[in-house]
């Protein structure tokens, strides 16, 4: 089982930290941080930088969890932002997915002066985590 720090360290050693190809991203992750379980969001997260109409789109989104619960504060389900955004896209919530893509591009430009956000818009979403508290999610059904 991997901690959030181990997942980030693994991504930092790979050029895939800059990829926009979700399949390549998942292949790299599976090599050192396999999916432990899948969750589905059943209630909108209480705290978010996103506007309410975007936050509501999390409901029904299935997301893989790659970190062990012991490494997560407060028993939260920590998921990679890139995979959460992909979950929004897979469920057809393109506007919400685009909002998060834009959010991470802006955050990267503001927070990471050594990363050129216009050249690497996926970087921060690829290495950042979003936390979903237990009361917001349920285990995803088997076979998905």
Which pLDDT tens digit goes with each residue over 26-58? 887 888 888 999 999 999 988 888 999 999 999
Q: Where are the domains of the chain?
A: 4-139
Helix intervals (H) in the chain: 4-12, 22-32, 52-55, 81-90, 94-111, 123-127
- Residue for token pair 């896209």: 89
Q: Residue 22: which pLDDT band, with cuts at 50, 70 and 90? A: confident
Rounded Cα distance between 127 and 82, Å, is: 8
124 or 141: which leads in pLDDT: 141
Residue 121 confidence (pLDDT) above 60: no
71 or 107: which leads in pLDDT: 107
Rounded Cα distance between 139 and 124, Å, is: 26
Mean model confidence pLDDT for the chain: 80
- Percentage of the chain modeled with pLDDT above 70: 74
20: left (phi over 0), alpha (psi -120 to 50) or beta: alpha
Q: Residue 144: which pLDDT band, with cuts at 50, 70 and 90? A: very low
**123 touches 108 (CB < 8 A):** yes
Question: What 3-state class would DSSP assign to 71?
Answer: helix
In tens, the pLDDT along 127-139 reads: 778 888 888 999 9
């Amino acid at each position: 089982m991997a901690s959030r720090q181990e997942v980030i360290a693994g991504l930092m050693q790979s050029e895939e930290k800059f990829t926009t190809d979700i399949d390549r991203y998942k292949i790299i992750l599976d090599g050192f941080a396999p999916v432990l379980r899948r969750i589905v969001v059943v209630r909108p997260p209480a705290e978010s930088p996103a506007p309410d109409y975007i936050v509501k789109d999390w409901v029904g989104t299935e997301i893989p969890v790659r970190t062990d619960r012991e490494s997560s504060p407060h028993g939260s389900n920590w998921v990679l932002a890139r995979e959460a955004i992909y979950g929004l896209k897979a469920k057809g919530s393109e506007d919400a997915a685009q909002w998060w893509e834009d959010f991470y591009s802006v955050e990267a430009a503001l927070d990471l002066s050594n990363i050129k956000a216009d050249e690497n818009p996926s970087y921060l979403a690829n290495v950042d985590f979003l936390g979903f508290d237990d009361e917001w999610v349920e285990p995803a059904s088997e076979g998905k």
